[in-house]
Amino acid sequence: MALPDTRLDDRAAHERLLRVLAVGSSADAHGGIGSVQGVLERTTGDTVELTTIRTHRDGSALRRLPAMVTGVTTAIVRLLTDPPDVVHLHVSQRLSVLRKGLVLTVARWRGVPSVLHLHGSGFLDWYDGLPGPARRLVRAMLRPDRLVVLSELVRDECARRLAIPADRIVVLTNPVEHPTAVPAPPTDGTVTAAFLGRFGERKGIYDVVEALTMLAPDLRARLRLVAAGDGEVAQVRDAVREAGLDDVVTVHDWLDRTARDALLGRAELLLLPSSHEGLPMAVLEAMAWGVAPVVTAVGGMPEVVHDGGNGVLVPVHDPVTLARRLTAVLSDDDARHALGARARVDSEVFGADRWADRLTDLWASVAVARS
């Protein structure tokens, strides 16, 4: 769906800012939603007054529960006592749906226009696995003025499953902030690769470890993989040690933005052979740094990564093919550098400023429609 070009008229824009309430993870949270929220806060223009209420925090259940209760309560009180022009809700799956569904229900009752931003790569599978009454409850709760999704495929499936009219579903791919310049590829023969994301089966880290054991010794000696994330950190370290890859793979906890950019500044490949994805921020961030993504054709990734053009697409849970494709890109420096250069160019369409402008237009259009 193309976004309408409707904006608040100039007089209204000068009289006051468009007041937007964002509900979800904070900008410092691990994962894609936190990254998107950070871009949102850094790029929202001077016509918007953005307020964020956090309903999720990283850590144990004892840390998450108070944030959920406090955040949801605060958002509901704000909607009832000082309603914004628009409420923007980040949602993934499971408890996130319940949290945002409650807030969205109050917003609808209060007459506050709403934008529901669906990030969860496993949302549709989770929804399909619910019993019938639970699916009906989810459909009843998730009735925003606009639903934002990350790919055309997800838009079509959400329209069918959630019974949301197609003209209320907007495809808005994730944003990326571009470094003004990137370092030249190294000339010492070493190839740095990165894995960024939650450690576990879904992101394919164990497939990466298995694939690396299949590389020829001379290629494995060239490669240095830096894997950083949260989740099954100890299990991944054990897998690396058991595979005899301690000299190839370094496993870190989650990297902050500065450390992540330092890694991407020296990396040439991003390895992320996930089984499920929406449109990972890690892929767009890597491409913006001129890093060629080696990923699976799931979620919105085939709409961004073109096999042999700006990256490499491999099958899900196929370490043998992953090893074969890695052998090819490690063996041909010129081809690998060309992939990275093309990735950086192609990522410009996902620029954060353009994304923020489209989102601001969307907020303004739903606010005007309800006024």
The dihedral region occupied by 189, where left means phi > 0, alpha psi between -120 and 50, and beta the remainder, is left
The pLDDT value recorded for residue 222 is 94
CATH match for 191-349 among 3.10.20.600, 3.40.50.2000, 3.40.640.10, 3.30.70.260: 3.40.50.2000
d(CA 305, CA 284): 10
* Residue 6 near residue 371 (C-beta atoms within 8 A): no
Structure tokens that stand for 38 in this block: 């950070």
Nearest CA to 16 out of 47, 39, 42, 38 is that of 47
Nearest CA to 299 out of 162, 117, 121, 148 is that of 121
The pLDDT averaged over each successive group of 10 residues in the chain (371 residues) is: 47 67 81 82 88 79 77 94 95 86 94 91 86 92 92 84 90 90 88 96 96 96 96 96 97 93 97 90 95 94 94 98 98 96 95 92 87 60
The pLDDT value recorded for residue 117 is 93
Q: Do domains 10-175+351-370 and 191-349 have the same CATH topology?
A: yes
The pLDDT value recorded for residue 45 is 78
* Beta-bridge partners for 296: 314
Structure tokens that stand for 178 in this block: 């571009």
Q: Could you tell me the residue ranges of all domains in the chain?
A: 10-175+351-370, 191-349
CA atoms within 13 A on the CB side of 164: 26
Residue 243, C-beta contacts closer than 8 angstroms, at least 6 positions apart:
209, 210, 212, 213
CATH architecture of 10-175+351-370: 3-Layer(aba) Sandwich (3.40)
CA angle 45, 48, 52 (to 5 degrees): 105
CB atoms within 10 A of CB 116: 30
Nearest CA to 345 out of 176, 195, 190, 226 is that of 176
